[in-house]
Structure 1
Amino acid sequence: MTDRVTLDSAALRVLAHPTRLALLGHLRRHGPATARRLAELFGIDSGAASYHLRRLASGGLIEEDTERGNKRDRWWRAKHAQSLHDPATFPGERADSRAYAQALALAAADELRRVAGAVPVLPDAWFDASVFSDHTLRLTPDGLEALKRELHAVIERHAENPEPDDVTPVSVRLQAYPLPEE
């Protein structure tokens, strides 16, 4: 698996669906799985899971894990650990960028609902290390661009650190956008 991929227009179109984002995220975090297992985890029909997995494969985001499974159960794995998409670098793909961003926001909202249910039972060390914050900044588009670059640089520094044996996947979300009118 490669570290990251920059999303092109075709990949953006494939990922413009919250279910596909969720399936890809699961494969990244937990490793290979079958359509049947993913369908159980996400409460969807196994045929729908298979369809979404084939779409992810056609977009070059996942691949069949041929070392596992049989004719009845196909295993799938992510081809990369991280997707990168900066709308400013692909101005000709605005519609695809917007659809992807919308699906990403919907998937994040679903994940936050699951996290909210787990907060009461988080071990103290993980709860103390977590952060749930909300900041409203007043920025220009250039100011938001500068903030985005700085935050990504911090994440990159931490992503490059060698991992000890006792690590746990941690979700880091950067959501910065102008607030809609009330």
Structure 2
Amino acid sequence: MEEQYRISDPRVLKAVSHPLRVRLLGLLRIEGPATASELARKVGESSGSTSYHLRELFKFGFIEEDPEQRDGRERRWRARHTYTSWDAAELSATTEGREAVRIMHLRQAEMVGRLLGEFDPAAWSRDWVDAAGMSDHVLRLPPAALREFYRRAEEMLRDLAAEHAGDPEARQVIAWYGAVPLPEDKEPEDKEKEEDR
């Protein structure tokens, strides 16, 4: 599997931003190869619907048929890349690109909400419950500082994954990080305020 799929065409980003396609691609990346029927059961859709959306993901280069795992009559699909990336500023140069970026950001937020909603603390040890969750901080930063934050966060996550690769307590996790600027008229009164939830 290749590491990343770098999108530069807004039509491709728009194609993958469909809610069901985002879920199907995510399942193939996280859980591995599957058929349209297997995915349909997981997402509560018909196999006809999942087949159509899998063909669209294939058409735009996100997935491929898995030649190592044939399932008789039905194709098994696998993700071609570990993750998808795009240059939001580059794509936002056109109206179509701005809309595609906006929709994809909304899909990402929906996914985070769904996964947090599915997290059941009763099913996990105290250590995992204490470690899981989200934080939000309100700070004043320039764009360069946010880029540095992303770079350092990604580097730290890769280092930690390598350091704990053989740990028997390690589980597959999804880590999120993101930031958006607030318009000046929406900033908190106390501009130095920092919240941690």
Query: How far is the alpha carbon of 1:19 from its aligned partner?
Result: 1.5
Query: How far is the alpha carbon of 1:15 from its aligned partner?
Result: 1.5
Match of 1:134 in 2: 136
User: TM-score, normalised to structure 1's length?
Assistant: 0.84
Provide the secondary structure at the position in 2 that maps to 1:81.
strand
Match of 1:2 in 2: 2
Q: Which amino acid counterpart does residue 129 of structure 1 have in structure 2?
A: A
Computed over aligned residues only, the root mean square deviation of the Cα atoms, in angstroms, reads 2.5
Residues 1:122 and 2:124 are matched in the alignment: yes
Paired with 2:162 and 2:60, the residues of 1 have a C-alpha distance of 27
Q: Which amino acid counterpart does residue 5 of structure 1 have in structure 2?
A: Y
Query: How far is the alpha carbon of 1:66 from its aligned partner?
Result: 2.5
User: Do the aligned partners of residues 103 and 2 (structure 1) sit closer, same or farther apart at CA in structure 2, a change above 3 Å counting?
Assistant: same
Which of structure 1's runs of 4+ aligned residues deviate more than 6 A? Answer: none
Paired with 2:40 and 2:132, the residues of 1 have a C-alpha distance of 30
Residues 1:104 and 2:105 are matched in the alignment: no
Match of 1:36 in 2: 37
Query: How far is the alpha carbon of 1:60 from its aligned partner?
Result: 0.6
| Corresponding pairs, count | 180
User: TM-score, normalised to structure 2's length?
Assistant: 0.78
Paired with 1:156 and 1:46, the residues of 2 have a C-alpha distance of 36
Provide the secondary structure at the position in 2 that maps to 1:168.
coil
8 Å Cα contact 1:6/1:84 also seen in 2: yes
Provide the secondary structure at the position in 2 that maps to 1:68.
coil
Provide the secondary structure at the position in 2 that maps to 1:157.
helix
Provide the secondary structure at the position in 2 that maps to 1:83.
strand
Provide the secondary structure at the position in 2 that maps to 1:55.
helix
Identity of aligned residues (%): 36
Residues 1:113 and 2:117 are matched in the alignment: yes
Larger Rg: 2
The runs of 5 or more residues in structure 1 that have no matched partner are none
* Structure-to-structure mapping, 1:8-157, within 5 angstroms: 8-9=8-9, 10-70=11-71, 72-92=73-93, 93-115=97-119, 118-157=120-159
Q: Which amino acid counterpart does residue 83 of structure 2 have in structure 1?
A: Q
1:170 to 150, 173, 197: 173
Paired with 2:147 and 2:90, the residues of 1 have a C-alpha distance of 12
The runs of 5 or more residues in structure 2 that have no matched partner are 188-197
Question: For 1:83-122, what per-residue CA distance to the aligned partner results, in whole angstroms no more than 9, with x for missing partners?
Answer: 222313444332322222222222222222112xx12321
8 Å Cα contact 2:8/2:87 also seen in 1: no
Query: How far is the alpha carbon of 1:77 from its aligned partner?
Result: 0.4
User: Do the aligned partners of residues 153 and 97 (structure 1) sit closer, same or farther apart at CA in structure 2, a change above 3 Å counting?
Assistant: same
Q: Which amino acid counterpart does residue 123 of structure 1 have in structure 2?
A: S
